[in-house]
Amino acid sequence: MNALEPFSRPLRRHWNPPEMSRPPMLDPSAPANPAEPRYALLINPFYPKDPNASFGKHALTPTLALTSFAAATPEHWRVRYWDENLIDGRPPFQPMPELVGITVHLTFARRAFELADWYRRRGSKVIMGGLHVLSCPEECAPHADALALGDGVQLWPRILADVESDRLQRRYAATYENDYRDDPAPRRSILPRKSFLTTSSLIATRGCHNRCGFCYLATEGLRMPYRMRDPAQIAAEFEADGQPYGVFIDNNLGSRRDYLRALCAALRPLQKIWSAAVTIDVTDDPGLIRDMALAGCTGVFVGFESLTDENLADAHKKTPKTGDYARRVRMLHECGIQVNGSFVLGFDHDRKDVFARTAAWVEENRLECSTFHILTPYPATPLFRQMEAQGRLLHRDWSLYDTAHAVFQPKHMSPEELEQGYGWMYQRLFSHRSIWRRRPEDWRAVAPYLAMSYLYKRSNRFWHLLIKHDLVHTVWRPLVELTRIRHLRFRQRFAERSELKAAPANVVAAGV
């Protein structure tokens, strides 16, 4: 391993078309069309795409926040969904909506403010919600008629009622402590189905048993206890959407193992496939991993974060020792579950060798996919307060707080070196050589793995065309269906193998 390889030569320039790096223009001279009463436009603002990573991840699943608000909308309101990241041009304004709801996150706050100001000047009322509204309400308030702080699904019907009666307040607040089972299912009928790999983005739980200092869940003022919906509700939603593949967007689907086991029992009869984010300690229970595989889990997103125990201790992440990560990855692979490992770069115990060392570990353990993030201190988190107190924040340009830029002074390298190492990680792991090195040991899984790797990781030009021409679903649906059929065959073999392994114990228990 050459620890200095990431700095030995300049990185290759990435192709990055304007449509993936800049939002559509808003015409300042556009007339103020008459507003249509009881018409709400819900907008997910544009954010620049990182050319190091896959453009495809931005079109895998739709945001659940807006479809959940739509589900809480009374029938006499018309609702329209608009995601600027589908590069369909500027948001609609003919007719002008009476109400515009905008979700605001850190990296696209500036674009959210532009949209809000543009619509307000033309007579629409603007409601802002989302994590950035919670962490920086004073920054957001001048751009909105009202702020929704906290659980927007609870607040949205109240806001609409106040708009109707002309009594809109400046702020609405709700906690996340209601019975999660009472929330309506997301209203997926408003989605442009052809624009996403799958519209079955699912959420069964909220919260996480970890409170990592760098995570947005640690935002000051955000109290999100772990809440669960009935497994039968989730299975019914998944079945009703008619998609072969679902993505759970829960922060950590495995925080309660008894719940995940019950959810697997509800999903297994559907004969569909799905993926989810879990922490690596889900492998504490080998039987649970088997249940996940038999219920259709084909991949997990695992926040390893670091291969250095001291970094994890500093972040207050509850996790097994990093020396045991490899064994646990093998457990997932033996159950036919692919692993997308997430790593954060730039912790205080990271030195210049972290990049080559992490890349070598990923290849040695044959992780099918990896995602990298530069450590980013989100506002109002413990990490932000720490960096601010130490004078290590470089600026407060939120558009660069996207985990692809160094916005603080690392301890053992320069910000430029941290960014260079980050870019090298993607260049290395997306290379032909690395993709081949990480191929599965099971020869039957090699072809699907290579197809996924090349289409997802090395096809940004192709992804740009698919997104621009609304072909994401059309092109990917047959591949997803083939993956589902292949997994059903694997599941049958896996179940038979599990039964054979359990047979001796059954014989002894029967007294034979």
pLDDT tens profile 285-309: 999 999 999 999 999 999 999 999 9
State the burial class of residue 262 (Cβ atoms within 10 Å of its Cβ: 0-12, 13-18, 19+): middle
β-bridge pairing 96-103 and 78-83: unpaired
What mean pLDDT is predicted for residues 318-332? 94
CATH 3.40.50.280 residue ranges of the chain are 18-174
179: pLDDT confidence band, cut at 50, 70 and 90? confident
32: pLDDT confidence band, cut at 50, 70 and 90? confident
- Going by the DSSP 8-state scheme, the letter that residue 63 receives in this structure is -
Digit-coded pLDDT (tens) for 99-148:
999 999 999 999 999 999 999 999 999 999 998 998 899 999 999 999 99
Most confident of 25-29, 411-415, 507-511: 411-415
The contacts of residue 22 (CB under 8 Å, 6+ apart) are: 48
CATH 3.80.30.20 residue ranges of the chain are 190-491
Pull the structure tokens for residue 137: 């309400």
Q: Tell which CATH classification among 3.40.50.280, 3.40.50.970, 3.30.950.10, 2.60.40.10 matches the domain 18-174.
A: 3.40.50.280
Question: Residue written as tokens 């083939």?
Answer: 482
Q: What pLDDT does 181 receive? A: 79
Torsion of CA 119, 122, 127, 132, to 10 degrees: 40
Q: Which is it for the CA torsion 388, 394, 396, 400, positive or negative? A: negative
Fold classified for 190-491: pyruvate-formate lyase- activating enzyme (3.80.30)
506: pLDDT confidence band, cut at 50, 70 and 90? very low
Q: What pLDDT does 512 receive? A: 34
Digit-coded pLDDT (tens) for 398-428:
999 999 999 999 999 999 999 999 999 999 9
**Residue 500 in this model has a pLDDT that exceeds 80:** no
Contact assessment for residue 86 and residue 468, using Cβ atoms and an 8 Å cutoff? no
Mean pLDDT is lowest, of 102-106, 152-156, 214-218, 461-465, for 214-218
What mean pLDDT is predicted for residues 72-90? 95
**Residue 510 in this model has a pLDDT that exceeds 90:** no
What mean pLDDT is predicted for residues 354-367? 97
